[in-house]
Structure 1
Amino acid sequence: MELGISTFVETTPDPITGEVISHAQRIREVVEEIVLADQVGLDVFGVGEHHREDFAASSPAMLLAAAASQTKRIRLTSAVTVLSSADPVRVFQDFATLDAISNGRAEIMAGRGSFIESFPLFGFDLKDYDELFEENLELLLKIRESEKVTWRGGHRPAIYNLGVYPRPVQDPLPVWIGSGGNAESVVRAGMLGLPLVLAIIGGSPEHFKPLVKLYKRAASRAGHDVSKLPVASHSHGFIAETTEVAADKFFPSTQYVMNKLGRERGWGRYERATFDAARSFDGALYVGDPDTVAAKIIHLRKNVGITRFMIHIPVGTMPHDDVMNAIELFGKEVAPKVREAVEKWEADEGNLG
């Protein structure tokens, strides 16, 4: 069971003070957060690509590279790379470079992304949303498979027997598929034999169990060894010494972000009752003291089949010290509890089998 952190490098106004920190400051803070996550023994840190004022991570590979030389073992991934509006050649080169700096710890998490600002920014038409992703994923995997590439698609100039460099330390460079729960994307990941990441940010995590089964069934039918295909999840959360403190600290920034996005997308208003329901044991928010959060992750592993869990800290702008404390608690207190429980459960399952 792998455990890690994800962030979008938010720079929303502080919900208490109204202060807006600079992109530069928040980027430097995230590098410190990655270094701490490595020091406390977490397995992976992910940075999500966005192209808007309230998120500072338009270039995850560069930000991760800044932390790579200061870390030793933590894996470094995008979360996600918006592959529909990216050049697959450049994506591969960036992450192969990150792989070299980190000595084999880079990963790409490829997805469509739920934000669309990158399309007009880079000159793409939203009507090609799905087709662009399929073509770019095909090219990315072809580059991963072979140093010299010949490829033709409908949206990018063709490549004729050209080399793509540098080549990564890892062979192959890990490519995950990120999905918000779309059955088609889950089946595609399974058929390609690629690891799957599910964004579980609402409803009950147990409702994603059928999607995990669908993914594994598609992988098996395509001839892939399902036992070697990890399934990850990404959920919002926060950890403090007590559950009450965690909830009270995490709610204001979460409410701000959810209501801002809600106004853009036509959602209903996000209130404390919604938040409290989502942090119940069956909900998708992993907010609480170390015991509470550990118990929810263990339940997720046993009942949904998740083998990597990434907690998204913070949602919106929170004090850097609070974020660092949450990461430390996650690595030093939550992770050991989860790993011990999962190891024991898997050993018991093996004995029963």
Structure 2
Amino acid sequence: MTVELGLDTFGDRTVGLDGTPTPYPQVIRDVVAEAELADRVGVDFFGVGEHHRDDFAISAPEVVLAAIASRTERIHLGTAVTVLSSDDPVRVYEKFATLDAVSNGRAEIILGRGSFTESFPLFGFNLQDYEALFEEKLDLLHALLAEKPVTWTGALRPALQDADVFPKTANGLRAWVGVGGSPESVVRAARYGFPLVLAIIGGQPARFAPYVDLYHRALAQLQQPDLPIAVHSPGFIADTDEEARELYWPGYEAMNNRIGSERGWPPVTRDRYEAEIEHGAQHVGSPETVAQKIAETVRSLGIQRFDLKYTSGSAPHEHLMHGIELYGTQVIPRVRELLAAEEPAA
């Protein structure tokens, strides 16, 4: 089984080794350095999120990705995700076509609605149009990705008449749709012929198998070609299981409790944290532990790419760099070894 193995970050605001909060500009520079390292150690994809809140430093992912493109050679670069509902499809196409040019064909887009809503009031959109905005803008972007003149009419955005958008790319843009587990979102991705990214951030990854099956059935019924599926899940890698759990816990606890207080969740407990590592979506531990769990996720869902969100909260940059090195030099080869060992039996 051939599987791509990537990394994602939201540019979480980290702390230094002394516990001092890292300024936003340094967090962004650190993300660029992390991507450089990922490129050197053989990671296939590096994704950066788009957020508009104080937990995260990256609000303009395309700019960060362009900086990364100038300092890397082979790694594919994209978003995790582009919040299409509060952006304009024409500008999204233009920005990523430009990124594709400066990266020599390495640009990707993961399109989504995002798990936060700060961008809606910030850019003047009504949250009551949450679903309609995404549907309409996805429809327009799908048309633009054909890189031909577009005539299009919608209810929430001005129409286009024979509009040609530039720059053209050399070989087209790879675009995915990211979903959190809604059947309607899975079918929508299939209807437009977009590859699917499942955001699995809690619970057993295997419970998403019905969504994988639904996607394949929808593709077949809609007479679309078979398309790849990726999984985005959180995790953290250190030299030992115990070290990984201890280093990851403070930032995980603070992040979950801060977001939970906004959304009415109860405070996270250490027992719940340990359970998520043992049985849920958290890929936390030594290289061998994480490799085994990634391989199991790939096996159980039959996916073609796994992206590890290697940041969650305030873990220092130095610890993230070590985790990336372990991911590229130990986890990725081990995952491929584990999957290859099963091919004859399959």
Range class of TM-score, shorter chain: over 0.9
Q: 1:291 to 1:328 in 2, by over 3 A?
A: same
Could you tell me how far apart the structure 2 residues matched to 1:150 and 1:347 are? Answer: 50
Which residues of structure 2 form unaligned runs of 5+? none
Count of residues in correspondence between the two structures:
344
Residue 225 of structure 2 is matched in structure 1 by 225
Q: Residue 202 of structure 1 aligns to which amino acid in structure 2?
A: G
Q: 1:16 to 1:328 in 2, by over 3 A?
A: closer
- Report how far residue 177 of structure 1 moved: 0.5
Correspondence 1:243-254 to 2 at 5 A: 243-254=241-252
Residue 241 of structure 1 is matched in structure 2 by 239
RMSD: 1.3
Q: Are the counterparts in 2 of residues 203 and 284 from structure 1 also a CA contact under 8 Å?
A: yes
Residue 264 of structure 2 is matched in structure 1 by 266
Q: Are the counterparts in 1 of residues 17 and 316 from structure 2 also a CA contact under 8 Å?
A: no
Answering whether residue 207 of structure 2 is matched by residue 207 of structure 1, we say yes
Could you tell me how far apart the structure 2 residues matched to 1:17 and 1:180 are? Answer: 36
Answering whether residue 277 of structure 2 is matched by residue 285 of structure 1, we say no
Could you tell me how far apart the structure 2 residues matched to 1:43 and 1:50 are? Answer: 23
Could you tell me how far apart the structure 2 residues matched to 1:239 and 1:169 are? Answer: 37
Residue 6 of structure 1 is matched in structure 2 by 8
Q: Are the counterparts in 1 of residues 16 and 317 from structure 2 also a CA contact under 8 Å?
A: no
What is the SS of the residue equivalent to 1:166? coil
Q: 1:223 to 1:262 in 2, by over 3 A?
A: same
- Report how far residue 15 of structure 1 moved: 10
Give the percent of matched residue pairs that are identical in Structure 1 and Structure 2. Answer: 51
TM-score by length of 2: 0.97
Correspondence 1:66-77 to 2 at 5 A: 66-77=67-78
What is the SS of the residue equivalent to 1:253? helix
Residue 310 of structure 2 is matched in structure 1 by 313
Could you tell me how far apart the structure 1 residues matched to 2:247 and 2:53 are? Answer: 25
Could you tell me how far apart the structure 1 residues matched to 2:18 and 2:334 are? Answer: 36
Q: Are the counterparts in 2 of residues 51 and 118 from structure 1 also a CA contact under 8 Å?
A: yes
Q: 1:347 to 1:164 in 2, by over 3 A?
A: farther
Could you tell me how far apart the structure 2 residues matched to 1:266 and 1:326 are? Answer: 32
Which residues of structure 1 form unaligned runs of 5+? none
- Report how far residue 305 of structure 1 moved: 1.4
Q: Are the counterparts in 2 of residues 99 and 170 from structure 1 also a CA contact under 8 Å?
A: no
Residue 322 of structure 1 is matched in structure 2 by 319
- Report how far residue 16 of structure 1 moved: 8.5
Q: Are the counterparts in 1 of residues 177 and 196 from structure 2 also a CA contact under 8 Å?
A: yes
Could you tell me how far apart the structure 2 residues matched to 1:347 and 1:95 are? Answer: 40
- Report how far residue 339 of structure 1 moved: 1.2
Could you tell me how far apart the structure 1 residues matched to 2:34 and 2:110 are? Answer: 20
- Report how far residue 215 of structure 1 moved: 0.7
TM-score by length of 1: 0.95
Residue 337 of structure 1 is matched in structure 2 by 334
Deviations 1:151-210 (A, max 9, x none): 111111111112111112332x11100001111101111222211111111111110011
Could you tell me how far apart the structure 2 residues matched to 1:15 and 1:201 are? Answer: 26
Q: Are the counterparts in 1 of residues 16 and 316 from structure 2 also a CA contact under 8 Å?
A: no
Q: Are the counterparts in 1 of residues 235 and 282 from structure 2 also a CA contact under 8 Å?
A: yes
Q: Are the counterparts in 1 of residues 277 and 284 from structure 2 also a CA contact under 8 Å?
A: yes
Deviations 1:48-102 (A, max 9, x none): 1101122111111110110101111111010000011110000111111110011
Q: 1:170 to 1:346 in 2, by over 3 A?
A: farther
Q: Are the counterparts in 1 of residues 51 and 59 from structure 2 also a CA contact under 8 Å?
A: yes
Correspondence 1:7-26 to 2 at 5 A: 7-11=9-13, 14=15, 19-26=20-27
- Report how far residue 302 of structure 1 moved: 1.1
Q: Residue 2 of structure 1 aligns to which amino acid in structure 2?
A: E
Q: Residue 223 of structure 2 aligns to which amino acid in structure 1?
A: G
Q: Residue 195 of structure 2 aligns to which amino acid in structure 1?
A: P
Q: Residue 284 of structure 2 aligns to which amino acid in structure 1?
A: V
Correspondence 1:110-259 to 2 at 5 A: 110-171=111-172, 173-226=173-226, 229-259=227-257
Deviations 1:113-164 (A, max 9, x none): 1100000011000010010001100111111113322111111111111211
Deviations 1:216-265 (A, max 9, x none): 11011111222xx1111111100011000000000100100000000000
- Report how far residue 343 of structure 1 moved: 2.7
> Hey, which bits of structure 1, 4+ residues long, moved more than 6 A?
none
